[in-house]
Amino acid sequence: MQDAVTTLIGMYDATGRYFDRNAIDELKSYFGTGTARLKAASTITANAAGLVRQAGTRLFEVVPDLIRPGGNAYTTRRYAACLRDMDYYLRYATYALVAGDNYVLDERVLQGLRETYNSLGVPIGPTVQGIQIMKDAVIELVGVNAAWLTDPFDYMSRQLSETNI
């Protein structure tokens, strides 16, 4: 898994350059938020089940057709699969926020996910809505609305969306 530091080193190494002021500023920013990132990750981890449950409840209030007969979360098995997937998104978003890099999301979550969901008939729109609802719940729980906290959720949403949200 890459992090902000290894990604930055890789970019500069590939071009054969020493760090410039921009690179140093990026590193300072990353390390400057390190304690806050770890505290947020700890809070998210301790409350993960409740966050997923809360986000699922909010999603099904916004898109009630999902849990009605014929909906993609209708039946206990499908409902549980939806919450399981939301838990995956939350866990990997937490990894990405600690790493300060979205590489883990591409590598472990997003590669082929849209195609898989399309082939299974899983609607992408409600998936993106669920990720955004979870982001809002995380902001509320952590009490911080910072780019380093919200970026993994927004990145997943952008990558899954067929149009920018």
Give the residue-averaged pLDDT of 21-36: 96
Give the residue-averaged pLDDT of 39-67: 97
Domain residues for the domain of 111 are: 33-160
Question: Between 163 and 135, where is the model more confident?
Answer: 135
Helices (H) and strands (E) in the chain, counts: 9, 0
Report yes or no: 131 and 89 within 8 Å, Cβ to Cβ. yes
Distance CA 108, CA 120 (A): 19
Report yes or no: 133 and 35 within 8 Å, Cβ to Cβ. no
Domain holding 132: CATH number? 1.10.490.20
Query: What is the model's pTM?
Result: 0.91
Residue recorded with tokens 């300072």: 28
Mean pLDDT, all residues of the chain: 94
Position 76 pLDDT exceeds 80: yes
Structural domain total, the chain? 2
Q: Are residues 109 and 75 in the same domain?
A: yes
Give the residue-averaged pLDDT of 107-118: 88
From the number of C-beta atoms within 10 Å of its C-beta (0-12, 13-18, 19+), residue 146 rates as: middle
Q: Are residues 26 and 39 in the same domain?
A: no
pLDDT for 162: 65
Examine residue 112 and state whether it is found in any structural domain, yes or no. Answer: yes
Give the residue-averaged pLDDT of 110-127: 89
Tokens (6 digits) for 3 = 């992090």
- Find the length of the chain: 165
Examine residue 165 and state whether it is found in any structural domain, yes or no. Answer: no
Q: How confident is the model at residue 147 (pLDDT cuts 50, 70, 90)?
A: very high
